[in-house]
Structures are given as C-alpha cells and as structure tokens.
Chains A and B, each alone.
Chain A
Amino acid sequence: RKEVEQDPGPFNVPEGATVAFNCTYSNSASQSFFWYRQDCRKEPKLLMSVYSSGNEDGRFTAQLNRASQYISLLIRDSKLSDSATYLCVVNTFTGGGNKLTFGTGTQLKVEL
C-alpha cells in the first residue's frame, strides 16, 4: 500500500463547481496533516493544515478521520485560479526528526 494515496485526476470542472479530493495514508503514527498546492514546475505551497475537528478557510474545507486514515479537501465555488495540483501531505516524527510524505497529487482544471 502506498504511504499516501490520492486519485491523480485530472478533475475537469466548470467555474463555480464544488469539487472534493480524497486521500488515504498508511502510517497510523503520522501526527500532522496538510494540503499543499503545486502549480506546474513550482514549489509546493501550503494551502491549509487539516484537523480532526474539520477546518475551513474561505472556500476550502478540510477534514481528517484518524480512525480510517482518511483526509479530504472540499473546494466550493471553484475559480480558474484554483487550477493546480493538490498534494495530500502527512508529517511523521520518527524520534530523529520530522519528515513529510507526499501523495502524487490530484490535478484540478477549472474551466470557463
């Protein structure tokens, strides 16, 4: 099983649509969770952290289910500028240090 698994997409959606991304992770010892956004050939940029209680930042809502090792991201009222690859990222502290494990990313294309 992959450490962090995501549907690669692409998701092609019209402007204004709601789109949901899912992610599962295999290491139950992972401590913190994030969604990053990556534009073509650019660095990953933090979109939001993900908490068990669920958290929202404007049009973006993230959810974590530790029991089922599942993370989600919901984007409402999608904009053309939301077109990017969305990376599900899991942080694990191994005693030596932190390391991030990335999914392969889900590509989103928002169209007129």
Chain B
Amino acid sequence: EPEVTQTPSHQVTQMGQEVILRCVPISNHLYFYWYRQILGQKVEFLVSFYNNEISEKSEIFDDQFSVERPDGSNFTLKIRSTKLEDSAMYFCAVTQGNGGQPQHFGDGTRLSIL
C-alpha cells in the first residue's frame, strides 16, 4: 500500500484559474510536504506542514499558494490565479516524525496550464 496517494493524476487548467491538488496519507503520518518539479528541472521544496500550521516554506511559496488539511485526512495545495510557469509535477510527501527521516512521495499530479 502506498504511503500517500494524490489526486488528480493530471490537471489541465486555463491560465488565471484556481486549482486544488489533493494528497491523502495513511493515518500515522503527521508531517506533510509539497514539492514541485518543472519538466527537465530538479525537484524543489515548496512547503512543510504540521499540526495545521506551515512549518517551513520556500521563496516559491508566495501568496499565490496555500495549504490546508480541511478534514483531518486530505492535505491540499491550492494555487490561485495560475500562470503558465506553474505547469509542473507536484509531489506530496509525508513522514511519521520530525527527526530527519526519509520522506515518502506520492505519485504526483501533473499540472498543465494553458
């Protein structure tokens, strides 16, 4: 069983629209992360989240982005007013603890902005 599942697998959206990407971890994961990978580039950290709060965020994670865990299970990444350059793979990752253990990645959502 995968540690985390992501939906949708592929999202196509018109520029300027809002998108919500979803991540569902198995129950004993408490720490959540979002990363993105633009085609042909490296994986980049966006944000970490614990106990309903952002723990750490990168320069990429500006006011256009937000995260929440609305129902105690789904962990969402919302991107407002999408731009062409938001097109990328978005990966959710999880860990059980905060001790620097490996993060386990979902299979990603491919976001295409037209």
Number of interface residues of B (CB under 8 A): 28
Q: How large is the interface on A (under 10, 10 to 19, 20 to 34, 35 or more residues)?
A: 20 to 34
CA distance A87 to B58 in the complex (A): 20
Q: Chain B interface mostly helix, strand, loop or mixed?
A: strand
Of B42, B48, B102, B104, which one neighbours A99 at CB under 8 angstroms? B48
> Could you tell me which A residues sit within 8 Å of B by CB distance?
31-32, 34, 41-46, 49, 87, 91, 93-94, 96-105
- Which positions in B face A, CB cutoff 8 Å? 31, 33, 35, 41-45, 48, 50, 55-56, 58, 89, 91, 93, 95, 98, 100-108, 110
Known: A43-B91, A100-B35, A102-B44. 18 other contacts (CB 8 A): A31-B100, A32-B101, A43-B105, A44-B91, A44-B105, A46-B102, A91-B100, A94-B56, A97-B56, A98-B33, A98-B48, A98-B103, A99-B45, A99-B56, A100-B103, A102-B43, A104-B42, A105-B42
